[in-house]
């Protein structure tokens, strides 16, 4: 999975695979460490995706009449 950018759902599925593998304790130490590192990177990626989604949702604000108004969301990318 290294080098391939996964979407949120695929990242969570891969994380579940990693956790399951680590919980079983069947992987040798070196592989366990590699899986842990991959999982850590996936978590960081998921957090970035969730933060971005949260920012987009928070960009919805109330207008002068109290009704929700969608404002254009500008990304830094």
CB 61 within 8 A of CB 51: no
The CA distance from 49 to 15, in Å, is: 15
pLDDT tens sequence across 6-19: 899 999 999 999 99
The CA distance from 71 to 61, in Å, is: 7
The CA distance from 37 to 26, in Å, is: 17
Cα 67–Cα 77–Cα 8 angle in degrees, nearest 5: 75
- The answer, as to whether pTM is greater than 0.85, is no
Torsion of CA 22, 27, 28, 31, to 10 degrees: -70
pLDDT tens sequence across 18-61: 999 999 999 999 999 999 999 999 999 999 999 988 877 777 76
64 band by pLDDT with thresholds 50, 70 and 90: confident
């Amino acid at each position: 999975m290294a080098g391939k950018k996964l979407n949120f759902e695929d990242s969570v599925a891969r994380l579940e695979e990693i956790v399951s593998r680590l919980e079983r304790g069947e992987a040798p130490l070196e592989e366990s460490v590699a899986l842990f590192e991959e999982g850590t990177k996936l978590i960081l990626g998921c957090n970035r995706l969730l933060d971005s989604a949260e920012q987009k949702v928070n960009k919805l604000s109330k207008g002068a009449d109290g009704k929700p108004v969608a404002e254009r969301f500008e990304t830094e990318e």
